Structure 1
Amino acid sequence: MATVGFIGLGVMGLPMAEHLAAAGHEVRGYSRTPQTRRRAADRGVVEAESVAEAVRGADTVITMLPDSPDVREVALGDGGVLSHIGPDATFIDMSTIAPSVSREISAVFGERGVDVLDAPVSGGQSGAEEGTLSIMVGGSAAVLEAQRPLLEAMGRTIVHMGEAGAGQVVKAANQIAVAAHLQALAEVIVFLEGHGIDATTGLTAIAGGLGGSTVIDRKSASAVAGSFDPGFRIELHDKDLAIVAESAREQRLSLPLTATVAQLMRALVARGDGGLDHSALVGLARTLNGEGR
């Protein structure tokens, strides 16, 4: 069993750390808020009072943080992971960040002889809680195989994508697909409702055919009901689509559909709905068609 330092115990990180502890690993968890650390301690995670306490002596250090600046600061900043991680340990960042930042972190850690994987996840809060996440891994294939038992405690699908940063590229592509599916779901709902068809019944038929998707399976009931308690917040998906835009610009790629959905996500953030679930795109679609949210 491994000793794991886990930094970032939010909606996704806490259940992931809990699964690692349940699998028999010693998990030392750190989050900036004491309440979050205590909640983790109630679920079998050893409470660490600092990044240093979580990292020192750990075989593997995992971060699950909101954005690129957070990961860069925790990984490379004063008193961060690099300052305390052992030479034989592995650093795995499971956050969703810019591929360029993942490559930067991998290069800096590599200069110290520390192995790094970027391993962002898909599946949302429910996938984290169920331990069924899809994990997209960039970095050394050999390092991935050594760390696979840890990742298998948190996810069902674990795929090596290529060199450092490749996991983040695939996660960005995943966010393109999810955003497009969510906007399609939103427009299907308003189209059905506009014709007086029960949206739930219509979506049941669609889900059984070529138009079916995991987004319909997981999001349609709450979207039709207009219930947008967050599983994955609009503001986070907005951030992810900004990563897509930056990465696409670097490669001189044109993604017109993605750009349109990104503007709709940004509109939701601008009107104060960033804390809602990303299925709240249906609320915006209803508003655009003269209906209530």
Structure 2
Amino acid sequence: MDKRKVAVYGLGNMGYLVAERVAHHFQVSVFDLDENAVAKAADEFGATAIREPAQVAEVAFVVLCLPTPAISLTVLNDIAPHLQRDTIIIETSTVNPYDMEQSARVLKPHGLAIIDASILAGVSQMAAGTASLLLGGSKESIETAQAVLDSIAEKQIYFGELGTGAAAKVINNAVAHAVMVVVAEAGSMATAAGVDIEKLIGLLSDKQMGLHRPLTYRYADRVVNGDYDGGMPLMAARKDSQLAVHLAQSQGVPLFAIQSCHTVYELGVAQGYGREDYAAIAKLWNDWGMPAVPSSS
């Protein structure tokens, strides 16, 4: 048992599991507005309840796992004056880089460091020990907090400066949530058209087909390397997208994501990229002054 003390703020579904995992290796104190959760943590893994900010004066690390960035900031404002100057804050909540910067500004006058360690997992994955942490911040602070990070999740990806781990989590979730809408639309189209759903799932999950190919080939190879020669022309992809929209219309299926995405293919053709591989839609973001990949790639 590491003698350094860790305070965990937030005992929701994910936070409770985080606190439990940390408690296997450290002395843990916990705070949550739900007194039942605090009592349960005391009973199940010996956590000490935090009743007032002054109680965190001896902790070496503070782990935040809270519902909103505003709550994280409120907690930091409350406890920062009471923490030792070398205490490290580990933000595991889902926040944006701007929120990390705000937190850092609150902590700086007190000589406190913060790192982002965004949790990429569901509750079941955290319970099973298969969660991942997306890290951002000072390498020195991360190294100091490594034992705590390891206690939460062994798999970790370091992205760079403060806020980059948080940004990666938000982007990952944005993709997952957008794909969920596309998949729901696809399932509705398939049902209306009499397509076997199980076979459709198999088709879309094939590594050479629907969900994988745009990322693992078209983005990873073509967009990253700026290679748009050959391949499936953007004009052909636009035609296929148009057919999908017409299929949905003929079956009375409302489209939101797929309909919106079709507009991008129209813009790509209008911009003169019609004969290039359809990954060339990424060039539109370059045209708008927001490159799809760094210029050094």
Structure 1 and Structure 2 fold alike (TM over 0.5): yes
The alignment partner of 1:27 has SS state of: strand
**Partner in structure 1 of residue 251 of structure 2:** none
**Partner in structure 1 of residue 44 of structure 2:** 43
**Alignment CA distance shift 1:148-1:51 (3 Å):** farther
Asked if structure 1 preserves the Cα contact closer than 8 Å seen for 2:182 and 2:257, the reply is no
Distance in 2, Cα, partners of 1:116 & 1:25: 19
Asked if structure 1 preserves the Cα contact closer than 8 Å seen for 2:8 and 2:19, the reply is yes
Distance in 2, Cα, partners of 1:54 & 1:127: 31
- Are 2:18 and 1:28 aligned? no
Cα distance, 1:113 vs structure 2: 1.5
- TM-score after normalising by structure 1: 0.66
Asked if structure 2 preserves the Cα contact closer than 8 Å seen for 1:57 and 1:85, the reply is yes
**Partner in structure 2 of residue 8 of structure 1:** 10
Asked if structure 2 preserves the Cα contact closer than 8 Å seen for 1:17 and 1:45, the reply is no
Cα distance, 1:110 vs structure 2: 2.3
Asked if structure 2 preserves the Cα contact closer than 8 Å seen for 1:110 and 1:116, the reply is no
Cα distance, 1:257 vs structure 2: 6.3
Which structure has the bigger radius of gyration? 2
**Alignment CA distance shift 1:99-1:46 (3 Å):** same
**Partner in structure 1 of residue 75 of structure 2:** 74
Which digits, 9 at most, give the CA deviation of each residue in 1:75-97, with x for residues without a partner? 11xxx220221112111111112
Which digits, 9 at most, give the CA deviation of each residue in 1:182-204, with x for residues without a partner? 12221232233223334234313
Distance in 1, Cα, partners of 2:193 & 2:177: 25
Which digits, 9 at most, give the CA deviation of each residue in 1:106-141, with x for residues without a partner? 133123211211222211222222222221222101
**Partner in structure 1 of residue 165 of structure 2:** 167
Cα distance, 1:205 vs structure 2: 4.2
Cα distance, 1:45 vs structure 2: 4.3
| % identical equivalent positions | 24
Cα distance, 1:51 vs structure 2: 5.0
Asked if structure 2 preserves the Cα contact closer than 8 Å seen for 1:132 and 1:154, the reply is no
- Are 2:90 and 1:92 aligned? yes
Structure 1, unaligned stretches of length 5 or more? 214-255, 262-293
Distance in 2, Cα, partners of 1:69 & 1:143: 23
1:238-249 matches, within 5 Å, as none
The alignment partner of 1:12 has SS state of: helix
The alignment partner of 1:153 has SS state of: helix
Distance in 2, Cα, partners of 1:92 & 1:161: 15
The alignment partner of 2:45 has SS state of: coil
Residue number among 109, 120, 123 corresponding to 2:121 in the alignment: 123
- In the alignment, residue 28 of structure 2 is paired with which amino acid? V
- In the alignment, residue 5 of structure 2 is paired with which amino acid? T
**Alignment CA distance shift 1:160-1:111 (3 Å):** farther
Residue number among 189, 202, 205 corresponding to 1:204 in the alignment: 202
**Alignment CA distance shift 1:114-1:166 (3 Å):** same
Which digits, 9 at most, give the CA deviation of each residue in 1:130-179, with x for residues without a partner? 22222122210111122122112222431222222222222221122111
Greater relative contact order (Cα < 8 A, sep 6+): 1
Asked if structure 1 preserves the Cα contact closer than 8 Å seen for 2:76 and 2:106, the reply is no
- TM-score after normalising by structure 2: 0.65
Distance in 2, Cα, partners of 1:178 & 1:192: 20
- In the alignment, residue 25 of structure 1 is paired with which amino acid? F
CA RMSD of the aligned region, Å? 2.5
- In the alignment, residue 165 of structure 1 is paired with which amino acid? G
1:51-66 matches, within 5 Å, as 51-52=52-53, 55-66=56-67
Cα distance, 1:48 vs structure 2: 1.0
- In the alignment, residue 56 of structure 2 is paired with which amino acid? V
**Partner in structure 1 of residue 99 of structure 2:** 101
Aligned residues: 214
Q: Which moved more, 1:200-209 or 1:98-107?
A: 200-209
**Alignment CA distance shift 1:55-1:199 (3 Å):** farther
